């Protein structure tokens, strides 16, 4: 699949897959110098890119496991969504979950982008829903004790 990418900043780096079978393509910080993210704070980190995803696909922005485990940095909204009709700059809301300030450098890998199909549902109001064994049990109700 081809995805049109527009560089909004000449220093922007195109998303890149780290291995042959990687599901997520790395997104890179397009910044001057460094950004410090204080503990328990969120900073919008620009990628310098806009993209044109095919209709029926969205870009899902996930944490990079290394950045999350080593620096405590992950997207504030857990998973960002880039809709196929969005043409603005892709930014990552990086949140510092740790107790010490963390630095992000220019060109550093800050998140990963997974391009995946989606289904648009038609929501129909119903007076009743079909019964199941589970019923209204939620939030751990199906686990064992």
Tokens 């870009």, located at residue: 59
Specify the pLDDT at position 36: 98
Average pLDDT over residues 82-90: 98
**What are 41-62's pLDDT values in tens digits?**
999 999 999 999 999 999 999 9
pTM (predicted TM-score): 0.90
Average of per-residue pLDDT values in the chain: 95
* Residue 145: pLDDT over 60: no
Q: State the Cα–Cα distance between residues 73 and 40, nearest whole angstrom.
A: 10
10-24, 46-60, 81-95, 121-135: which has the minimum mean pLDDT?
121-135
Architecture of domain 4-117 in CATH? Distorted Sandwich (2.70)
Specify the pLDDT at position 7: 98
């Amino acid at each position: 699949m081809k995805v049109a990418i527009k560089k909004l900043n000449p220093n922007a780096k195109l998303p890149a897959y780290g291995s042959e079978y990687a599901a997520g393509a790395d997104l890179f910080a397009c910044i001057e110098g460094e950004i410090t993210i204080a503990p328990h704070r969120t900073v919008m980190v620009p990628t310098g890119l806009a993209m044109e995803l095919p209709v029926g696909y969205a870009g899902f922005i996930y944490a990079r496991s290394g950045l999350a485990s080593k620096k405590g940095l992950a997207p504030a909204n857990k998973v960002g969504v880039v809709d196929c009709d969005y043409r603005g700059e892709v930014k990552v809301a990086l949140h510092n979950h740790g107790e010490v300030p963390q630095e992000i450098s220019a060109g550093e890998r800050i998140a990963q982008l997974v391009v995946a199909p989606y289904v648009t549902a038609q929501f129909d109001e119903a007076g009743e829903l079909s019964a199941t064994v589970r019923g209204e049990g939620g939030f751990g109700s199906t686990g064992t004790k």
